[in-house]
Amino acid sequence: MSTMFADTILIVFISVCTALLAEGITWVLVYRTEKYKRLKAEVEKQSKKLEKKKETITESAGRQQKKKIERQEEKLKNNNRDLSMVRMKSMFAIGFCFTALMGMFNSIFDGRVVAKLPFVPLSYIQGLSHRNLLGEDYTDCSFIFLYILCTMSIRQNIQKMLGLAPSRAATKQAGVASISPGSD
């Protein structure tokens, strides 16, 4: 049973290492490039400018003002798309590495109960939390569930601590741009 606690700590450690590895790969392939730095600065500047403009615009704003905002949104959308293309390189590299790593870890921890949950997960989550585990005790936790939840918390905090997370304005405008209809 004490090996369960050791497994839990090991998986936390694996999660930290893989998060750092992912950020490291992204830094080498993306973050340190001039193109990325330029695009990121441009997107953040445009996002903040657009957000301020939208806050000051009123219902009775002229057609010209609204057209201006639309043009700025289009420009921002294009820059966001270019930024995504630049990030694509690292996404492929990370995807490839992680597929190999996850295959390895899954075979190491296959069938092992790595933690005891202090609650019984909802039925649609049990497929993940109790994956490849024997028995009907759904407080038994599998590697993949613990790993996913560790990564959810650790990766974002690491990005924030290292200053690599995109700004909120940029994230917000990227979200708006992805769901808004085309301007033509």
Partner 1 sequence: MTNSSKRKEEIHLVNGGVKQSTWSKAFNSNAVWEEKDEFLDVIYWIRQIIAVILGVIWGVAPLKGFLGIAIFCIINAGVLYVYFSSFQQIDEEEYGGTWELTKEGFMTSFALFLWPLYWVPLHSLIQSNPTVVP
Distance between CA atoms of residues 91 and 79, nearest Å: 18
Of 104, 164, 168, 178, the one binding partner 1 by CB under 8 A: 168
Q: Is 183 in the site for partner 1 (CB under 8 A)?
A: no
* x/- map, 4-43, partner 1, by CB under 8 A: xx--xx-xx--xx---------------------------
The minimum distance between CB 170 and partner 1, in angstroms, equals 11
The minimum distance between CB 14 and partner 1, in angstroms, equals 10
Of 1, 56, 136, 184, the one binding partner 1 by CB under 8 A: 1
Report, in angstroms and rounded to the nearest whole number, the Rg of the chain calculated over CA atoms.
22
Task: Kindly give, in sequence order, each residue whose CB lies less than 8 Å from that of residue 11, ignoring residues fewer than 6 positions away.
Answer: 109, 114, 115, 143, 146, 147, 150
The sign one gets for the Cα dihedral 52, 54, 57, 62 is positive
Of 29, 43, 150, 174, the one binding partner 1 by CB under 8 A: 150
Short-list 171, 143, 144, 174, CA closest to 159: 171
Q: Is 177 in the site for partner 1 (CB under 8 A)?
A: no
Cα distances (angstroms) measured from residue 9 to each of 4, 127, 148, 167: 9, 23, 14, 32
The minimum distance between CB 5 and partner 1, in angstroms, equals 5
The minimum distance between CB 15 and partner 1, in angstroms, equals 6
Q: CA angle 154-159-162, nearest 5°? A: 120
E-state strands within the chain: 115-116, 140-141
Of 91, 128, 149, 177, the one binding partner 1 by CB under 8 A: 149
Which positions lie near partner 1, rule CB under 8 A?
1-2, 4-5, 8-9, 11-12, 15-16, 115-120, 141, 146, 149-150, 152-154, 156-157, 160, 167-169
